[in-house]
Structures are given as C-alpha cells and as structure tokens.
Structure 1
Amino acid sequence: MSKASSSHTWYRPFALAMFASMLSISGTLMTQFAVITWAWQTTGSTIASGLITVTSFSAVVGVSLFSGALVDRWNRKKAIIVTDIIGGITTGLILLLHQANQLQIWHLAILGLVLGTLEAFQFPAYMASITMMVEPEQRSRANGMFETAWNLAEIISAALGGILLALIGLDGVLLIDLASFAVIVLAISLIHIPQPESTGEVPGSLLLDVVAGFRYLLVRPSVLLTVLLFTSINVAYGTYQGVFRPMVLVFTHNSEQILGFALAAVSIGNLIGGIFATIWKGPKKRIPIILLSWSVMSSFGFVLAGLGRSLPLWLVGRFMAGVLNMIAVTLSSAIWQDNVDEHVQGRVFGIIRLISQGTVPISAFLATFLVQIVIGPAMQPGQGLANLVGGLFGTGDGASMSLAMVSTGLIFGVLLPLVGFLIPAIRNLDSQGSDGHQDAQSTGDMTHLEAGSFSHE
C-alpha cells in the first residue's frame, strides 16, 4: 500500500491545487448560473431552466459506472488536466454559438451532459488523489480544504454571477470561465500527485473492474447503507436543484441579484462549515453527527427555505444548510476514505457517486415536470390543491414549487436520516475499524469472492 505524502510536504501543493480549483469552479458555476437564468428568462419554463441540471446529473450517474474504474487505470493527474481542457473547449463552443445568435435550449442539454461527464471523472480522481497526498490523520482537514475551495467558488459565482450577467452579459461570463480553465490546467501541471504502488497485475476487463467495485461495497454493508441513506436525501436535493431558482425568480419578479444572494448564502454556510472541518480533527463517533447534521440541514435548507417568500428567510435557511451539510460531507468522505483500500478507490468512489447521485436527476426532472404539468395548475386560485394547502403555501406557480420543495425535504431530508439511528450497520460504522474489515469478515465466503475479483485489475 502506498504511503501518503508526509505532513511536512502535502500542504503546499495541495493548497495550490485547491486555490486553482476554486478559481476554475467559480468560472464554471458562473456559467451555469448565467445559462440557467438565460433559459428561464427566454422561455419561462421550469423544464427548460432545469434542463442543464437534469442532463448534468444524469451524465454523472451514467458515466460514474465506468469512470472510477478508468481513473484507477489512468494517471490521476493527467485525468484531471484532460477533463479540464475538454471543459474549456465546451465553454468556448457555447460562447461561439451565443455570439452567432444560434444558442438554443437543446445546446444547454449538451453542455449539461459534458459537464456531468467531466465531473464523473474528476470526483474519483480528486478523492483518490487526496488519499495519496495526505496522511490518514489529516484527511478530514484535507477534505475540509477541498470543500472550502468548492464553497468559496460557489460564493464568488453566486455573488458575482447576477451582477456580471447584468454588466457584461453571457459572453463576458463565458470568457471568464475560459480563463479559469487555463488557471487550473497550469496549476495541476505544477504539482506532484502520487500514484498508488502497482499491484503487479495486468489490467483486465473494464466491466469486471466495475463489478469488482460493486462487490467491494456489497461485502461492506455498513458503508453501502450509509451511501444509500445519502442517496435518499438527494431526492430532496434534486427537487431543490430543479425548482429553487425559478421559485426565487417568480417571487422576486426575475431579480437576478436576489437570486445570486440567496445562492451565495448556502455557499457562505458551506465555507464556514468547511473551515470548521479543516481545523477540527473530527469526533470519535462520526455517524451520529452526520445523521443529525443531515436532518437539521434539511429542516433549514429545504423546509424553511421552501416556505420562504423573501430574501431573509432564504438567507437563514440556506446558510444553516450549508454549515451543517459541510460538516456531514467532510465526515462521511473521511469515513469512506478510511474504509476503502487505496488501490480501488477510483472505481469504488465512482460507484458511490453513481449510487448517491442517481436520485438527483430523476427527482429534479420529476419536480420540474410535475410543477409545470400537474402541481402548478392545481395550485392556481380556486383549484382543489390550492384550496387544501393554499393557506400555508399560497397559490400560483411559485407556491407549487414551494410545495414540491417542502414536501420532499420533510420526507427524504428530515425524517430518513433519523431512521439511520435505528439501523445497527449504520450506527456502528465508526467501530468497524479501517478498511471495513469487520464488514468484510462478517460476510464469510463472499470476502474471498470479492478479493478474487481484483485479479482483473
């Protein structure tokens, strides 16, 4: 097993990579903000504005089936650089189409598919790189730095996205994104990312590598059940992704600035949570903190924010969601890194991404579709559903989005994490020991079956 970089050498190159990532992610997120706002203002359709979200997460889900296994075969540094170059080329094409007045809604679907595909490769590549660059006792901190960089980017993009879109238009935002891709490619080129020591085995079938990744999780039920719980919470998150932006625009008469501030609130919360996670070594019992954080996060981020009709409630709800979510994410990432062997982390993290993100595009699509076709008409004044719940949610298009966000948030976000306390395999994950050995041993002969599958790596 390869040794991670020592505590004296990992910090500077890792910090450089995170700073460059922050700039790159800022540009990409500003592009997403700009094109989603452009789609809503152009069409007034929740389906159109949610198209990039649905296609992006769909690509993450589909490609994650194989991306992790490929990352295990490839040089992880080169994988990050190549995906960023492809992202820059895609942004350039969108810019050319808009300048030629040829940009269509279906082009945003292509953009979403490309961005999702690239994310499916970068997530396991970055997660596995953290394992190789950072010693185990520092990984919670490193994950905190990774998430902090992401959330600083979200703050920058949300705060500036609406302002820049109004000042320099979509073309200007896309040009900034192109420059950010150049920064991240240069930065990653300058740092050293260790590779795992070779096992001496000849790579075999990619499909068998994917199957091996699934088997690895199946013989570790504690890890798998925790991932499945995260998956259910993402039903609420997918609904939020699909309806929150148009809901805010409806209630604020298409104010891009207020939407930007509302989106920045969760990023600021994520930043505070990420900084806390960076300086905090974490509790000995991580699972109770994760479950409580997810539940309370959903109470603020989906229920309170969904009931909100003005900026103050959106700010409070999304800020608190950001703080608590970041604590849960950094702790759960550390658990997965501690319980997965480093030479298979690429494929296993890719499959974790596949499973956990699988509900996001489905729920985002269903939410936008139902809001426009079913819930929206039923929430108009005088209609049956409006008469039933209109006293709490109001009536009209915005009220239908609010209803969808609050109901899924209560069921999948608030209640389901609390169910985790009733499941011993989840509740006792902290006591499993490194690499999930107790889980694997408890499955008897399946351990030998799983171990043999890695001979095809």
Structure 2
Amino acid sequence: MSNSWQKTFALIFSGQIFSILTSSMVQFAIIWHLTETTGSASVLMIAGLAGFLPQALLGPFIGVWLDRWNRKITMIISDSVIALSSLLLGVYYLWSEPGLGVVYAILFIRSAASSFHAPSFQAAIPLIAPQDQLTRVSGWHQLVFSSSSVLGPALGIAVYSATSLGTLLLLDVAGALIANLMLLMVTIHQPKPESVHAPSFRKEFVLGWRTFISVRSVLTITVAMAAFSVVFMPLAMLFPYMTLSHFGRGGYSASVIEAVFGIGMMAGGVVLALLASRWKDSTYMSLSLVLIGVTCLLSGVIGRDAFVLFAILCFFMGAAAPLFNGPYMAMLQKLYEPEKLGRVLSFVTSIGLLCSPIGLALAGPIVERFGVQVWFVGAGVVVILIGCFIYLQYGRVEEERPTVSL
C-alpha cells in the first residue's frame, strides 16, 4: 500500500502540535492568571464550568452536524473560532484588564469550538489511514496530546511570566494558523451523507444512537469507561492535594508530579505506536486499566516518606492511560462506518464528560471525611475490577460489527 496516508498524517500532526500546544499554554495561563489575580475558588469554579459545560451539553448533538459537514472544513472553522477568541481576549489584555464576564464568555466560546474540533478530527482519521493502522495512529495522537499536556503548562507559565497573558493569547492565534495551513495542504475524502435515509435532524440523531448501541461490546466498554471516569477523573485535582496533605510537600513537588504523569503518557503513546498490532484493542484496554488500578492502589497505601515512589507510580499510571484511550478510539473507528462515526464519537465523548462532575461531587466529601488515600485505594480497586471484567468479556472474542436497519 502507498505511504501517502503517512505523509498526510505527518502534515496534519505537525500542524496540530502547534495548535494543541499553544491552546494548552493558554488554558493553563488563564487559570493561573485568575488564581493569581482573584485568589477566589468560586471564580475558578465558574471558569471551569465555562470551559466544560459547552462540550458536555453540545456533545450528544454535534455528531449529527459532523456527519453532515465536511470534516476538514469543520476542523479549520472551529480552530479559527478558537483563534479569533484568543485574539479578542489578547487585545483586551494588552489594552486593559477585562472583566470576569468577558473571560468567562471567551472560555465558553473556546470550549464550544473545541467540542466540534476534537470529534471531527477523530472522525476524519479512518478516512485517511488503513484500518489495520488505526491503533498505531491513535498512539501517535496520544503522543501529540500527551506532549502538549506536559509542555503546555511549563511553556505557558514561562511566556506569561516573561511577557504577558495578552502576548501568550496572540501566540495561540499563530498556532491555529499553522494548523489550518497544514490542513489546507492535505486531502480528506468526505463520506457520502445519509440524507436519503435520515432527512431530518431528529432521525439522524436517532439513527446515530441506534448505531452506537448496536455494537454490544462498545456499549459495554463505554459503560465501563463511564464508571472509570467517575473514580479516576477526580485524581487530576487530588494529585496536588495528595502531595500537600500526605507528603507535606509544596507547589514545586506538585508540579513535578504533573510533569511525571505527562511524561508517562508520552512514553505510553510511543509504546502504543510501536506495538499497535501485537494484541487486540480490548487486550490493551484491559491491561491499561489493571496497571492504572494497581498504581492507584499502591499510591494510596505508601507512607509519608515515599514521595519518590509516588512519583514513579504516577509515571506508570500516566504511561498506562494511552493504552486505553488509543485502542478504544481505534475500536470505534474500525467498527462504525465513517458516515455515522461523528455521531458515535459525540455520544461517547459526552458520556465521559458528564461522568466527571459526578466523580468530583463524590470525591469531595469522601476525601474530607476519610482522607485522600482512601479515594486512591478505592479508585484502584474499582479500576482493577473494570479491567478484569473487560478482559474476561472481550479479550478472547472477535469484535462485532454494528447491525442497524436503515
């Protein structure tokens, strides 16, 4: 087979690196700026909701539009909207200090645009790469995302400290322009829409839902992923708390843990890209969950003087994450037809996003009453059980195809 698809991805990923990295820098810098200038937890909570709710609320419906629209153009427009919002806020900061309402509105717009960009990119991947290479491509994508999550906060705070938030926001505009330029240089063949079978938004939405639930293995794994999100997502906020309350360390040590986790994700992405075809996707996912569960469990039982061991565990916890995310996305791309994939991805993304606040609501009072280690131990046990369940159910059976009457 021709290597043209590899050249296409080389162009796309080289552009996305700039876009995702600068967006990560801006996201961290805005939150840090609000923390530094207001010192208010309520302000941070509202900012978080402004950056979270659009993706959670729009998610179930976006897929219908994605399957109608040209995915390449959708990516370009959504990235351009993000860039425009950064430009407006950047000019505002260079001119004067904007009110919190302006910042919340910009975060809301960026989140809404991102809710179109990410699934359109994922839905475009099977239109470019051969099916037997989808897991490998997911590994590359995880590597790009992980690299940005490691470098973004560090570079963001460096640029913010050396210049200003306004300058950093203008840098985000440049990142989006580079990503769009690379997209303009590639060809992505758009699947034919299903307007004959589903001429209305409601019918297309229902067809997307029926398509999603028609593959029992994907439905079961998605429910398992939802349970995983409930217990694991709060750990993103509990890492600094664990560092402070259990190990008695400060902000520098907390940043080390974040960096180590991100570096682990980068390593996991490399491993997945190199070993993509060795095992089934479900085997990678179950292995990932068991490794995450074991590292969570051990993190919850180690002593107060074992900070270095905690950092090592966080590295392996991060390394295990792409082994679930990449194969899971590849499984969706393999099992569903490209013309319906946008809707399926929107349902999957929304399920994960809507489970996150449930976990945060549960973790708060439990940690306050019983201590942060209890959550680590409990999350570890639950995640191990989920990993074992997935392997026992699907580790030794062939993946099914969707069966939907049109």
TM-score, normalization by structure 2: 0.87
Q: Give matches, 1:378-389, under 5 Å.
A: 385=369
Question: What is the SS of the residue equivalent to 1:281?
Answer: coil
Deviates more, 1:61-70 or 1:207-216: 207-216
TM-aligned CA deviation for residue 76 of structure 1:
0.3
Which of 282, 292, 297 matches 2:292? 297
Unaligned runs of 5+ in 2: none
% identical aligned pairs: 21
Q: Distance in 2 between matches of 1:276 and 1:78?
A: 32
Partner of 1:382: none
Q: Distance in 2 between matches of 1:42 and 1:128?
A: 40
Is the 8 Å Cα contact of residues 140 and 270 (structure 2) preserved in structure 1? yes
Partner of 1:126: 121
Is the 8 Å Cα contact of residues 127 and 190 (structure 2) preserved in structure 1? yes
Partner of 1:212: 207
TM-aligned CA deviation for residue 207 of structure 1:
2.3
Task: Provide Cα deviations, 1:13-54, integer angstroms capped at 9, x if missing partner.
Answer: 111111111111111111111111222233334443344433
Is the 8 Å Cα contact of residues 224 and 386 (structure 2) preserved in structure 1? no
Which of 53, 60, 70 matches 1:58? 53
Is the 8 Å Cα contact of residues 71 and 347 (structure 1) preserved in structure 2? yes
Partner of 1:80: 75
Is the 8 Å Cα contact of residues 7 and 134 (structure 1) preserved in structure 2? no
Q: Distance in 2 between matches of 1:14 and 1:352?
A: 24
Q: Distance in 2 between matches of 1:39 and 1:246?
A: 19
Amino acid at match of 2:343: R
Task: Provide Cα deviations, 1:30-87, integer angstroms capped at 9, x if missing partner.
Answer: 1111111222233334443344433333222211111111110000000000000000
TM-aligned CA deviation for residue 202 of structure 1:
6.6
Which of 307, 319, 328 matches 2:315? 319
Structure-2 change in CA distance of 1:259 and 1:253 (3 Å): closer
TM-aligned CA deviation for residue 304 of structure 1:
2.5
Q: Distance in 2 between matches of 1:205 and 1:321?
A: 44
Q: Give matches, 1:10-409, under 5 Å.
A: 10-197=5-192, 201=196, 204-244=199-239, 255=252, 260-300=255-295, 304=299, 312=308, 315-364=311-360, 366=361, 371=364, 385=369, 403=372, 406-409=373-376
Q: Distance in 2 between matches of 1:130 and 1:416?
A: 29
Structure-2 change in CA distance of 1:241 and 1:107 (3 Å): farther
Q: Distance in 1 between matches of 2:357 and 2:384?
A: 21
Task: Provide Cα deviations, 1:74-127, integer angstroms capped at 9, x if missing partner.
Answer: 000000000000001111222233334433444443343223322321222111
Amino acid at match of 1:11: Q
Is the 8 Å Cα contact of residues 291 and 418 (structure 1) preserved in structure 2? no
Structure-2 change in CA distance of 1:238 and 1:194 (3 Å): same
Is the 8 Å Cα contact of residues 297 and 378 (structure 2) preserved in structure 1? no
Amino acid at match of 2:202: L
TM-aligned CA deviation for residue 429 of structure 1:
6.7
Amino acid at match of 2:378: I
TM-aligned CA deviation for residue 129 of structure 1:
0.9
Amino acid at match of 1:451: S
Is the 8 Å Cα contact of residues 15 and 182 (structure 2) preserved in structure 1? yes
Q: Distance in 2 between matches of 1:254 and 1:22?
A: 28
Structure-2 change in CA distance of 1:45 and 1:409 (3 Å): farther
Is the 8 Å Cα contact of residues 53 and 361 (structure 1) preserved in structure 2? no
Q: Distance in 2 between matches of 1:281 and 1:353?
A: 23
TM-aligned CA deviation for residue 408 of structure 1:
4.2
Amino acid at match of 1:350: S
Amino acid at match of 1:363: G
TM-aligned CA deviation for residue 423 of structure 1:
6.7
Q: Distance in 1 between matches of 2:305 and 2:87?
A: 37
TM-aligned CA deviation for residue 140 of structure 1:
0.9
Q: Distance in 2 between matches of 1:35 and 1:310?
A: 33
Deviates more, 1:22-31 or 1:7-16: 7-16
Partner of 1:427: 393
Task: Provide Cα deviations, 1:122-158, integer angstroms capped at 9, x if missing partner.
Answer: 2221111110100011111111111111122222213
Is the 8 Å Cα contact of residues 289 and 386 (structure 2) preserved in structure 1? no
Q: Distance in 2 between matches of 1:45 and 1:375?
A: 23
Q: Distance in 1 between matches of 2:19 and 2:307?
A: 28
Amino acid at match of 1:169: S
Structure-2 change in CA distance of 1:226 and 1:10 (3 Å): same
TM-score, normalization by structure 1: 0.78
Q: Distance in 2 between matches of 1:310 and 1:31?
A: 33
Amino acid at match of 2:345: F
Amino acid at match of 1:342: P
Which of 378, 386, 392 matches 1:411? 378
Unaligned runs of 5+ in 1: 1-5, 380-384, 394-402, 441-449, 453-457
Q: Distance in 1 between matches of 2:50 and 2:301?
A: 24
